Structure 1
């Protein structure tokens, strides 16, 4: 064996050891986590993935899914004007904050929804597709029911805290996997880090986009009651993994815990569970975890110190899983001016959700995945 081969073998052994150690470490933390092979739909690792949790801005993944389906069925197009209403502007930040009556295209609105996570634009998208925010929320919940998201209920399209707005890591994975499998034409939305409007710049809070090679999405979320949540997708050497972490105490912890789980997955540190994501059981009847005392309340300082001691990756002098230097894409948006008099599109008569959401998909290959013919099968594909 040559010296080069010996070094390569040693490096491979080190990677496997680190991956196994990382897998063991991840099981020491009670936060909900989920790791999925996106090509086989196998759950490689899960911890408390069926526990009720507040979704925060991960809610916007369902908002995006409904918008994609509306485009697919002809109810809207990427050029449809999305107009900022008084109702949209009334929500709390993060906001794009355009003057009332100003319009942007639905394509740009979707970038603002995902990258900037603008709550006003989430409402405006809902109003554009459904005619009103409550009607759009009804569409979200109808879609969730069809998808078998038994642990999910939506109250708004943006994720600002409401005690009744709840999901699970398992359900959020179902939404994210459906988006990625059914609508690959929108992948660029989720891999974009920077949004440019005139001289202003807004950045995604997905720490992996700039520090973990191969990251191509998807969404982060944060309110006091949820802690810091993330759905992250990564492609490396032909493999596609999705990682979900709920309830982190800081952006460091969220990014490092998620990157560690992905690192371990790619290194072979998880043997897999032999189950698909729809086989993960939600736990009904439980109240959603409320992280507010630990994240924003009187216990926040002590809790943060405790979490740093339990999981020190990324702190000074400690190992970090976010060591890559990546410059993700920037998307430039523009306003269409004031179009307050343009009528909002309305859903087709008798349609509570977009047409494709209510029946089987035309491709029979998509009918054997999550136990519902309207949701895709994550079989190997391009």
Structure 2
């Protein structure tokens, strides 16, 4: 009988030791893949190292999904921004309009015309997942919920969430409100990076409001050591969603699971992914050679309900986690010599390629295409990688670079275009509703 992945993780160390002792030194102990619910049509997931940005696992990470109440993380991000800038104070009052008070549960049930503090509104969103509090805050900051949703989408683009669109502040069902597992991971990383002073709100297990004690919906806060956020979400269309983060031995991982079939399966899956990620990090730190990225590509499952903006035949990267034993010590000396030769040849090849690319750039032209402007240099670099991977036909031969900081932002640009090829590349991006600007020679 095959044990569940969670119990398998606990026995990995014993399995490796037993396998190593039982076979010849040159052989490798093979440990099965982590079992995941990848056959569920709504399922999508990603695991990211919060410090390095390394994607340790990805399944349909760029396929459109409904965010549900994870939407409130962006509503809270803009609230944190207003607090940090002095536009808001924790004790300021948030008035509930008739529109806010009329939102569907989950909600606080505050009457129209009544008000609560900004502090209570934030706790209500993060812990209770109160839809009425989210709309009331949106109206306070944006004037109307629709205007605030436009600001949410704009900020998402600036953070690098290129496949996300918000039309409301709560996450209540709307077919136009779409995101991806990768974009939610970017948002999660941005919150803890930009507003660490407020991030602790997501780890609060409960809060009291007008005599009622409200418990956090994130079950992993109560059962998995190291978990300190972030947010759950559910609608019939989205399935069970979770953005979660945990810290062990001063290393933080971010996991996003979308489209789970139940609260329990979603939480178990997220825990399995995080535990496996931490196990990989620990083994790397001990000098073991761990294979993490084995790339496969699979089409969307037949009958998937996520139709908006998915092209026919669009394929998603599936990075599966596999653990393998370290190379036997007897082979290390010869491997080092071979590796040294490989490194030298690789460097020579890279140098030749750089010279060839320089010549190609001169021949191609002096036009450029700007694909984004960001507050951090790392986000600007991530945008270059995203565009090159997603639009290889238009940008494969272009020279991507992050322009020096100007007016408080870093600009992601591709150089080496002719006028016609620059306009064609930009048109391809705009067709997918992505930011793009053609830059003529100065």
Q: What is the rounded CA distance, in whole Å, between the counterparts of 1:185 and 1:135 in structure 2? A: 27
Question: Larger % of strand: which?
Answer: 2
Q: 1:289 aligns with which of 306, 313, 324?
A: 306
1:14 aligns with 2:24: no
Moved more, 148-157 or 367-376: 367-376
Alignment of 1:214-233 (within 5 A): 214-233=226-245
Q: Is the 8 A contact 2:68 2:238 kept in 1?
A: yes
Length, aligned pairs only: 289
Show the counterpart of 2:71.
59
1:180 aligns with 2:192: yes
Deviations 1:252-304 (A, max 9, x none): 101100001111111118744499xxxxxxx9xx99628xxxxxxxxxxxxxx
Q: Is the 8 A contact 2:159 2:190 kept in 1?
A: no
Q: What is the rounded CA distance, in whole Å, between the counterparts of 1:28 and 1:274 in structure 2? A: 16
Superposition deviation, residue 206 in structure 1: 0.9
Computing the radius of gyration from Cα coordinates, the structure with the larger value is 2
Question: Larger % of helix: which?
Answer: 2
**Higher RCO structure, 1 or 2 (CA under 8 Å, sep 6+):** 1
Q: 2:97 aligns with which of 69, 79, 85?
A: 85
Q: Secondary structure at the match of 1:66?
A: helix
Q: What is the rounded CA distance, in whole Å, between the counterparts of 2:125 and 2:168 in structure 1? A: 14
Q: Secondary structure at the match of 2:66?
A: coil
Q: What is the rounded CA distance, in whole Å, between the counterparts of 2:373 and 2:63 in structure 1? A: 29
Q: 1:48 aligns with which of 60, 64, 68?
A: 60
Q: CA RMSD in A?
A: 3.2
Q: Is the 8 A contact 1:178 1:375 kept in 2?
A: no
Superposition deviation, residue 375 in structure 1: 9.1
Gaps of 5+ in 2: 1-9, 18-29, 282-289, 308-371, 385-401, 411-442
Deviations 1:61-115 (A, max 9, x none): 1111111112222322222211111110111111101222222221221111110
Show the counterpart of 1:32.
44
Show the counterpart of 2:112.
100
Show the counterpart of 2:367.
none
Q: What is the rounded CA distance, in whole Å, between the counterparts of 1:256 and 1:102 in structure 2? A: 40
Superposition deviation, residue 204 in structure 1: 1.6
Q: Are residues 110 and 288 of structure 1, via their aligned partners in 2, closer, same or farther at CA, if it must alter by over 3 Å? A: farther
TM-score normalised per structure 1: 0.68
Gaps of 5+ in 1: 1-9, 276-282, 291-357, 377-382
> 4+ residue stretches of structure 1 with deviation over 4 A?
20-23, 27-30, 358-361, 363-376
Q: 2:138 aligns with which of 117, 122, 126?
A: 126
TM-score normalised per structure 2: 0.59
